[in-house]
Amino acid sequence: MNDGAISMEVIKNPSEMQAIADKIRQTKRIGLVPTMGALHKGHISLIESAKKETDFVVVSIFVNPIQFGPTEDYKSYPRPYDEDQKILEDLGVDLLFFPFAIDLYPNPQTTFINIRGLENLLCGKIRKRHFKGVLTVVAKLFNITKPHSAFFGQKDYQQALMIRVMTNELNFDVRIRVLPTIREEDGLAISSRNIYLSDDERRKASILYLSLKEAEKLLKKGEKPISIVERQKLLIEREGLIPDYFEIADPETLKPVDGLGSGAVIIVAAKIGKTRLIDNLIVQ
Ligand code: PAF
């Protein structure tokens, strides 16, 4: 077990991980931070919260093939394993679960988790198999690492919401913690995919956060979502980004709302060059 900065255990085998988790659970609370690696400040803040709230922190690194579409970046997704391992050791993470695809999918997966309704909205409309793949792997990670709490970032709002719904409806005994988005100075949400951006694209990408803030201001002033959405889409397009969607939605159903009511999420996805970025703001 972890008795110093460089003693982080690295486990690849799911059965071995389950046996360790069983043993740890006898005396400690396990916190899981599921990641696909290419760790950044957003992941670090999740790990720091996991360290504060639980006794034994497991980070998983797994680039999950079944959540990528055929034309998406599964093969080119950044995999800076040595740097990631060093970050985790420096943070004092107790265990890294780092399976190969063959360990998690020894046979083609035939069992999938899906949430009727939510899986076809927003990102789900464009990334057809994405959430089915995310929920299925997260359920597997819960069963393998047996956490008391699991930590996710608000940047992936739809993902975090769907994981919460899955956890409730399937009675997983896991507390889902969703923590605020970590941002660059100009507001751009930190993401592993930001490294794909050229300098020019990087500068332009800050329009996403600016458009969310502007939409928030207008929504609070009482302007109708439908006109805010059209205006913000144009603003984003003028910067050279191609919006997949810009919506002001109910925080639970993700269906468009026609006013602020008891709260809303303003949520956006847009392409800049070959990179697809997402962001959101919760408005009370
Ligand atoms: O957000 C991510 O990095 C991934 O979707 C997750 C939750 C680790 C599942 O592969």
Could you read off the pLDDT of 25-53 as tens digits, one per residue? 999 999 999 999 999 999 999 999 999 99
Handedness of CA 35, 36, 42, 47 (dihedral sign): positive
C-beta separation of 95 from 126 below 8 A = no
Atom from ligand 1 closest to the CA of residue 67: 10
Q: Is 175 helix (H, G, I), strand (E, B) or coil?
A: strand
With 60 as the cut, is the pLDDT of residue 5 above it?
Answer: no
Within 6 Å (CB) of ligand 1, which residues are found?
34-36, 64, 67, 134, 137-138, 156, 159
Could you read off the pLDDT of 55-82 as tens digits, one per residue? 999 999 999 999 999 999 999 999 999 9
CATH at 91: 3.40.50.620
Q: Whose CA is nearest to atom 2 of ligand 1?
A: 35
Same domain, 131 and 202: no
Q: Is 92 helix (H, G, I), strand (E, B) or coil?
A: coil
Q: Whose CA is nearest to atom 1 of ligand 1?
A: 35
Q: Is 215 helix (H, G, I), strand (E, B) or coil?
A: helix
> Quick one: which of 63, 146, 159, 74 has its CA closest to 104?
63
Domain count, the chain: 2
Same domain, 38 and 164: yes
The last residue of one of the domains, among 145, 179, 213, is 179
Show the domain range for 277.
Answer: 197-283
Give pTM, 2 decimals. 0.96
Same domain, 229 and 169: no
Q: Whose CA is nearest to atom 5 of ligand 1?
A: 134
Same domain, 161 and 245: no
Could you read off the pLDDT of 210-263 as tens digits, one per residue? 999 999 999 999 999 999 999 999 999 999 999 999 999 999 999 999 999 989
CA distance 253 to 257: 10
The secondary structure element, H or E, covering residue 63 is none
Same domain, 259 and 121: no
Per-residue pLDDT band at 7 (split at 50, 70, 90)? confident
C-beta separation of 269 from 122 below 8 A = yes
- Going by their DSSP bridges, the two strands 264-272 and 56-61 should be labelled as unpaired
